[in-house]
Amino acid sequence: MDVDALRMDFPVLRRTFNGKPLAYLDNAASTQKPESVIQAVSDFYSASYSNVHRSVSSLSMEATQLFEAAREKVASFLKAKAEEVIFTRNATESLNLVAQAWGRHNLRKGDVVVVTEMDHHSNLVPWQQVAREAGAKLEFVPVTDQGELDDSFEFPEATRVFSFAQVSNVLGTVNDVKAWTKKARKQGALVVVDGAAGAPHGLVDVFDADFYAFSGHKMCGPMGAGVLWGKKSVLEEMPPFLFGGSMISKVKKEGTTWAELPAKFEAGTPNAADAIGLSRAVDYLQRVGFSSIQKHEEKLLKTTLDLLSDVPGVTVYGSAKARTPIVSFNLAGAHTHDVGSILDANAIAVRSGNHCAQVLMDRLNIAGATRASFYLYNTEDECHRLADAVKQAQMVFA
Amino acid sequence: MSLEMYREQILEHYKHPHNKGRLSDADTSVKDANPLCADEIEVFLKISNNKIQDVKFDGIGCAISTAATSLLTDHVKGMSLDDVKKVSRDDVFKLLGVPVSPARTKCALLSLKAIKSATYKYLGEKLDEKFG
């Protein structure tokens, strides 16, 4: 994998701030876009734009074809059927869809919904709300000191749903989806996987679950297109989430019947342009190759961990065996926002704060952390620049 | 943004903030937070003759927010409530004396918001002002 060549595909990486080249280490928040993705969205609007699934015009048929080809592409990425792929805005919407449509329909008083202490708010809060409404109990799989899910956790007999992060967006911990799914299934639970931090690294072989959610923008796709994959039999049983055009079969004054999958869950005009962009992002990542990407990411992770371990006062959170290239840390005596500002002065973009994971922050007994997260276009040189800037922050605040 | 934000004065106030602590006999207090950066602040005002006789604050904050609070609490001590109502965001930036980047404006103004909220609460009036 030629990182220098690949960086040329990402226009924004040519930018400088304060006279220094941008080091974009905020990939767990969102990733940059290659030219091919930007071009695909632009091409759709300039050459093929029309509403989809609506009219018999050649233009509309072309737009529909491009949109459905995007669905096929995403389905092949997931090794799933196209009719099981529902386009949403993002992982948050995908998870809300399941919580609202499946949860509200199926949860009863006394049921248990299980999430984990490392979940992003986008998984935790929708279930917390739906559980409260239904009178169901919300339980948490604890996180160990290593930053892994606690294997000794026993699912209560009344567990109806287990919804959890495939990868922690703070610690980078990769959870064993197969093993956890098997365990939750023993109590007959529905299994929902939040893949927002997993799919970008090609970790999508998870389909013994019932649902898998991810965002396109975290894997080189445009903002505004996400995916909910659902097992066909579960999707067929589940009532719709949003009602309106496209998702209906027959509408009469006295009632309505629903469209077939996946239309049943895609009410209204979809974001076809960004779905097409997402499919180009999958193309792009597959062309580079996920195994090459993963190897490169492992190297960046190791380099960063080694370099930061030499900086006095730095605490890195989590030490899981299986891990994506995310390093969350704090510097003694310095607030995470100040560390972020000093990194910014060095043109290094990271995220400071609680990372939409306040329950995990409580577990770690911190208010926030600085998070550097890497992707295919990051370099070893950027790891060194990060460590140097943290040393600078250490000197300012020591 | 450059490192200019972290001038000696700011770091000095961050490491050794003035008026840090709590007032057990406060006439009014307000708790506020900036959920983006997890900053939390609680301010306590001792008021008599329509003047702030004493002020203290507690909580965690970044260098910018802590320095701003340290400087602003000094600034309003002894001030009439009418004058406190007139303290503006520009006054806070002037007290800080460093360029504050847009991303950090909320940090700089958290204590102004809390002090004003406490003042208006004491007066039983409604505060209608945007902070950052």
CA A322, CA A293: separation in Å to the nearest integer?
15
Residues of B in contact with A347 (CB under 8 A): none
pLDDT at A336: 93
pLDDT at B129: 83
A336 CB within 8 Å of a chain B CB: yes
pLDDT at B130: 82
The CATH number that domain A3-26+289-397 falls under is 3.90.1150.10
Q: What is the dihedral of CA A83, A85, A87, A88, to 10 degrees?
A: 130
Question: Residue range A360-379: average pLDDT?
Answer: 96
Query: Looking at the partner chain, which of B3, B11, B62 has a beta carbon nearest the beta carbon of A337?
Result: B62
pLDDT tens digits in sequence order for chain B, 132 residues long = 468 888 889 999 999 999 999 999 999 999 998 877 678 899 999 999 999 999 999 998 999 999 999 999 999 999 999 999 999 999 999 999 998 888 889 889 999 999 999 999 999 999 888 886
Q: Name the residue of chain A whose CA is nearest to B4's CA.
A: A345
At A133-162, the pLDDT tens digits run 999 999 999 999 999 999 999 999 999 999
Question: Residue A310 corresponds to which amino acid?
Answer: D
The CATH number that domain A38-286 falls under is 3.40.640.10
Q: Which fold would CATH assign to domain B3-121? A: Sufe protein. Chain: A (3.90.1010)
Residues of A in contact with B104 (CB under 8 A): 337, 341
pLDDT at A81: 95
Residues of B in contact with A371 (CB under 8 A): none
At A215-227, the pLDDT tens digits run 999 999 999 999 9
**Residue A383 annotated to the active site:** no
Query: Could you give the residue range(s) of every CATH 3.40.640.10 domain in chain A?
Result: 38-286
pLDDT at B132: 67
At A329-352, the pLDDT tens digits run 999 999 999 999 999 999 999 999
CA A85, CA A75: separation in Å to the nearest integer?
6
Q: How confident is the model at residue A371 (pLDDT cuts 50, 70, 90)?
A: very high
Please work out, in degrees rounded to the nearest 5, the angle formed at the alpha carbon of residue A350 by the alpha carbons of A165 and A226. 40
Please work out, in degrees rounded to the nearest 5, the angle formed at the alpha carbon of residue B126 by the alpha carbons of B123 and B127. 105
Say how far residue A273 (Cα) sits from the centre of its chain.
Answer: 20
Residue A90 has pLDDT above 70, yes or no: yes
pLDDT at A142: 98
CB A192 within 8 A of CB A163: yes
Question: Residue range A32-41: average pLDDT?
Answer: 98
pLDDT at B2: 64
CB A313 within 8 A of CB A360: no
Query: Could you give the residue range(s) of every CATH 3.90.1150.10 domain in chain A?
Result: 3-26+289-397
pLDDT at B101: 86
pLDDT at A69: 98
At A173-219, the pLDDT tens digits run 999 999 999 999 999 999 999 999 999 999 997 779 999 999 999 99
A330 CB within 8 Å of a chain B CB: no
CB A230 within 8 A of CB A238: yes
CB A191 within 8 A of CB A181: yes
pTM: 0.93
A397 with B104: Cβ contact below 8 A = no
B63 CB within 8 Å of a chain A CB: yes
